[in-house]
Amino acid sequence: MERDWRVRDISNCDLELLPEVFSWPKLCSQSEAIERLAFMGTLEDSVVKDALSKTPREIHSLPLSIRIENIESSALKLPWWIDLEKPNSLLPGLFETGHIFQMIGIETNDSILLVGPRGNWWTEIILHMGVKKITILEIDDVRREVLQNRWESLRLDIVAKALNCDIEWCGLEYIDNKNDILLDKVIITGGLTTIPTNLLSKIDMNGQIWAPIGSNNSTVLQKITKEEFGEIRCQHITLWNVDMLDRYSENILCGSSVFERNIIKNSIEESPEATREAWLHANDNPIRDRLGPESLLEIIKEVWNTSDILLETDNISLKDSIAKDLFKMGHVLQKIGVFRIAAEHHGMSYLLSPSAEAACYLGMTYSIDNQDSLAWQRKAIETDPNFGEAWNEIGEILMKKDDVKNAVNWFREAIASKNYSKRWVAYTNLTRSQIELEQDISAFFTAQKAVELFPENKELTELLFYLGEDLV
């Protein structure tokens, strides 16, 4: 009589026969990440590429109390400001940054206004593109002072002087200032609901304003060009889901009716605890500051919210939190087909905080061959024997190797695992294995269970119908 496979019995699944893991992929350097973007065709502008290569992203973020090698090359957003509730408190990723600067097309000797600098990283990138002047408009007085101090502490004031670039720091009063120098390009990194008309008089003929315009739900990066005879052309470029600027700032920039500013002093002071909180929550909103079509943003949001690592939620360590974010980002990259970079995120996640989830998904994305994939699934089970997905993955690999009889044992252990959110997958695989072994009666009852767990799957329903007809 066939045993009840809901009861665990791993005697027929010998982990010792599977290959072992000896090394795994980790995050690459920023320079290598930039080279990859170029290789994939997403970074074609040599000037932008060179500027990105000269500007390390991590040094412009808040200090990280733990050592995470090459965190700057990850697709995660990094906090530069302690209060994430404030607009533009994050450093976007290399992909978004490279894409935006390529679209803007900054030229040598341009005069640039950067509204909402997002730390000093984007300012330094612009500096290395050979411009003659950068005006940085940081709305918050406290943040502006902090940025100036950081700029000088990194000796970037000396770099700017050596490159013959004039750096000016200002607040919203800049809008009313008379300036003889007309701007070539204005870059606004915070969301507006309408065109910043008060900046049109400050750009030269054929000058451009690049601004995300929309609402809290969606902002579109627009290119606003001043043409001959005072004509203004607006061109929608792509979705860029950014934080909205406050109403007072928007009214100043856009020439709307002005109301009295509500001055709020910073309630959060820089401290190790505040910095830790910023790192803990920098990636809570997966599509914040993400760039791309709506379909891509929806994928990111869906995958991020449905993938997780089982960790204690109380007093989670910073290392575990970042490991969790790296795993989720790896899962996103895996879903959109960027497998090598996905594997590096999973690998770094496992290195920081070993989890069965990271090991299992690493086996799916980094498998050079079946042996490599089997090794990582073994590692996943050794990390958490109750993680059902790894048992199922081993069964699938054995099926591909035509070792169906052995695969059945692994599918059964997947079904009996306590930690498995997609148990119907193992039931389905077991059904197909039993069909191949001509165990039609067992296959029928197994298929019934699969349909119970996933009734909306038409393929499963058809399979059950086919098996039932066959038995009749």
Evaluate if residue 58 carries a pLDDT over 80: yes
How far is the CA of 340 from the CAs of 63, 131, 291, 361, 366, in angstroms? 28, 35, 21, 12, 7
Residue 66 scores a pLDDT above 80: yes
The pLDDT of residue 270 = 76
Q: What is the pLDDT of residue 315?
A: 72
Specify the higher pLDDT residue, 271 or 72.
72
CB atoms closer than 10 angstroms to residue 180: 4
Confidence label for 262 from pLDDT (cuts 50, 70 and 90)? low
For 211, the enclosing helix (H) or strand (E) is strand 203-215
Say which range, 262-266, 311-315, 449-453, has the weakest mean pLDDT: 262-266
Q: Which residue has the higher pLDDT, 258 or 331?
A: 331
Does the pLDDT at position 1 exceed 70?
no
Query: Cα–Cα distance between 130 and 163 in angstroms, integer?
Result: 7
Gap between the Cα atoms of 2 and 14, Å rounded: 20
Mean pLDDT along residues 409-437: 92
pLDDT confidence of residue 215: 84
Percent of the chain with pLDDT strictly greater than 70: 92
Q: Is 222 in contact with 240 (CB distance < 8 Å)?
A: no
Q: Residue 463's pLDDT is what?
A: 81
Q: How confident is the model at residue 410 (pLDDT cuts 50, 70, 90)?
A: very high
Section 312-330 average pLDDT: 87
Q: pTM of this prediction? A: 0.89
pLDDT band at 134 (very low <50, low <70, confident <90, very high): very high
State which amino acid sits at residue 97.
T
pLDDT, one tens digit per residue, over 387-400 is 999 999 999 999 99
Q: What average pLDDT does the structure give for the chain?
A: 90
Nearest-angstrom CA–CA distance, 189 and 12: 58
Q: Given this model, what pLDDT does residue 229 score?
A: 74
For the ranges 53-57, 117-121, 141-145, 310-314, the lowest mean pLDDT is seen at 310-314
Q: Which of 356, 471, 235, 90 is nearest to 346 (CA)?
A: 356
pLDDT for 367 equals 65
Predicted local distance difference test score (pLDDT) of residue 260? 53
In this predicted structure, what is the pLDDT of residue 265?
47
Residue type, 68: I
To which CATH superfamily is domain 10-21+317-471 assigned? Tetratricopeptide repeat domain (1.25.40.10)
Pairing of strands 133-137, 111-115: parallel
Helices (H) and strands (E) in the chain, counts: 18, 9
Is 357 a residue whose pLDDT tops 80?
yes
**pLDDT over 60 (residue 95):** yes
Q: What is the CATH number of domain 30-254?
A: 3.40.50.150
| pLDDT band of 217, cuts 50, 70, 90 | confident
Using DSSP's 3-state secondary structure scheme, residue 206 falls into: strand
Domain boundaries, the chain: 10-21+317-471, 30-254
The confidence band for 368, taking pLDDT boundaries of 50, 70 and 90, is low
Say what the pLDDT of residue 257 is.
Answer: 53
What are the angstrom distances between the C-alpha of 186 and each of 20, 157, 189, 223? 55, 21, 10, 10
Q: Report residue 461 as tokens.
A: 């329903």
pLDDT at position 11, please? 61
Query: What are the start-end ranges of the H helices in 75-229?
Result: 94-104, 121-127, 141-153, 156-162
Beta-carbon contacts of 25 under 8 Å, excluding residues fewer than 6 positions away, are 340, 343, 344, 346, 347, 362, 366
Q: What is the pLDDT of residues 171-205, one digit of tens each?
A: 999 998 877 778 999 999 999 999 999 999 899 88
30-40 pLDDT per residue, tens: 999 999 999 99
Pick the more confident residue, 12 or 212: 212
Mean pLDDT, rounded, for 373-389:
94
Identify the pLDDT of residue 343.
Answer: 93
Q: Answer whether 232's CB lies under 8 Å from 224's CB.
A: yes
